[in-house]
Amino acid sequence: MSQRTPLSLARFWAIVTKEFIQMRRDRLTFGMIIGIPVVQLMLFGYAINGDPKHLPTALLLGDQSQQGRTLLTAMKNSDYFRFVTELHSEAEAEEALARGDVQFIITIPENFSHTLLRGERPTLLVEADATDPSATGNAIASLRTLIDSSLRQDMKGTLAFLAPGVPPIDLRVHARYNPEGISQYNIVPGLMGVVLTMTMVMITGLAITRERERGTMENLLSMPTRPLEVLLGKIIPYIFVGYIQVGLILVAARFLFHVPMAGSIPLLLLTSLIFIAANLAMGITFSTLAKNQLQAVQMTFFFFLPSLLLSGFMFPFRGMPEWAQMIGEVLPLTHFLRIIRGILLKGNGIHEVRGELWPILLFTTVVLTIGVKRYRKTLD
């Protein structure tokens, strides 16, 4: 019997159509859809620097000498580096960096100590994921003095023949993905996630409370509607709105900020869809919980602020305390930032991005389930 089916396509489309018409007539909201990304783009032209420590670092050891160990110990003691793994090939290292598993890869070449002791200044290669320049800046700055002083102390005498002022080794830092360390490259793509989070959650957050406040909910509920029809019917039109914003920011990123676009744009658009859906689900669920539009706006900010602060947008994710990182991992924005920065700056493909999609999908499912459960079919 039709009362048991959770969704009637006809009614679902009726709601989609209605929402589109209403959206078109609501000039203010439509202005906001365009205005918010523009204002944010202007405001966040600046970077906010943190001083993250204990950054995950991988080793590519070509030489097991005493001198190499001394160096690594000194780096570890500086608090900036945390050695998490030892890798065995260039390819492995490349992948770990692309996926964002590590921030640095330190390569100690073969015959390191041999060359050092002969006074021939061996190369120490440090590759950094510089997508977010503020995350790696301080660590790299500290490296040079660190290496110098530790080696000189450790090997007084042995290295005495080296002229003072000439560093004993040749330190090469490769700032990968964003070699010039331009913070806009990091901020502008991130802004897409921030703008989507704010507007999508807010717009849908108001969607049901508005019906309640205007009294139209009573009418809607007196008709044979199912919760899923109403909730999905209100979500779909705003996916379209989300894509307007995505387009706007991508165009600004390309032509105003000259952000490199190394990866696939279709992949970016696809992952954006999932992210947009997550935020719409959050908004619509707030909408079922809030008693009026003011509450819906308050809930939006309650969600937006942690997203802004704990996702790695404002502060480098790895610079945050562990509890903050745990909260951050739950938020869709955290994962979307990794995805979009990965695609645009690192040229990541679906293979690298996949791991960040699941948490967003899980979030969406859980949140939408709560929404459907909380959707009241009566006015009580």
Partner 1 sequence: MNDDFAIDVRGMTKRFGDHTVVNGIALQVRRGEVYGFLGPNGSGKTTFIRMLCGLLAADAGEGHCLGFDVIRESELIKRQVGYMTQRFSFYEDLSIAENLDFVARMYEVPERKKVVRESIDRLGLGGRQRQLAGELSGGWKQRLALAACLIHGPSLLLLDEPTAGVDPKARRDFWEQIHQLAVQGLTFLITTHYMDEAERCDRLAYLSYGNLLTNGTAAEVVAQSGLTTWTVSGPDLPHIAQQLRSAPGVLQAVPFGTTMHVSGTDGERLTRAIAPYRTEAYRWQPITPSLEDVFIHLMGSSKDNYSP
Site membership for partner 1, residue 14 (CB under 8 A): yes
124 phi and psi, to 5 degrees? Answer: -115, 115
**What are the beta bridge partners of residue 350?**
none
Q: For residues 176 and 212, which CB has a smaller minimum distance to partner 1 in the complex?
A: 212
Round to whole Å and give the CA distance between 286 and 302.
11
Site membership for partner 1, residue 29 (CB under 8 A): no
Q: For residues 4 and 156, which CB has a smaller minimum distance to partner 1 in the complex?
A: 4
Site membership for partner 1, residue 225 (CB under 8 A): yes
| Segment contacting partner 1 by CB under 8 A, of 8-16, 265-273, 350-358, 360-368 | 8-16
Could you give the C-alpha distances from 315 to 37, 47, 170, 190, 238, in angstroms and in order?
Answer: 20, 9, 31, 12, 29
Q: Which of 46, 222, 255, 321 binds partner 1 (CB under 8 A)?
A: 222
Which tokens is 224 given? 């044979």
Q: Contact 87/93 with Cβ under 8 angstroms?
A: yes
| Segment contacting partner 1 by CB under 8 A, of 10-18, 103-111, 164-172, 190-198 | 10-18
Site membership for partner 1, residue 8 (CB under 8 A): yes
**Shortest distance, position 12 Cβ to partner 1, whole Å:** 10
Task: Kindly state the helix (H) or strand (E) to which residue 86 belongs, with its residue range.
Answer: strand 81-87
From residue 361 to residue 380, the character string flagging contacts with partner 1 as x (rule: CB under 8 A) and all else as - is ----------------xxxx
| Segment contacting partner 1 by CB under 8 A, of 18-26, 63-71, 78-86, 174-182 | 18-26
Residues between 192 and 221 with contacts to partner 1, criterion CB under 8 A: 214-221
**Shortest distance, position 317 Cβ to partner 1, whole Å:** 42
**Shortest distance, position 370 Cβ to partner 1, whole Å:** 21
Q: Which of 25, 46, 255, 323 binds partner 1 (CB under 8 A)?
A: 25
**What are the beta bridge partners of residue 129?**
176
Within 10 angstroms of residue 302's Cβ, the number of other Cβ atoms is 11
Task: Give the residue from 229, 272, 260, 267 showing the smallest Cα distance to 352.
Answer: 267
Round to whole Å and give the CA distance between 47 and 148.
30
Task: Give the residue from 149, 204, 164, 183 showing the smallest Cα distance to 49.
Answer: 183
Residues that bind partner 1 (CB under 8 A): 3, 8, 10-11, 13-14, 17-18, 21-22, 25-26, 214-225, 377-380
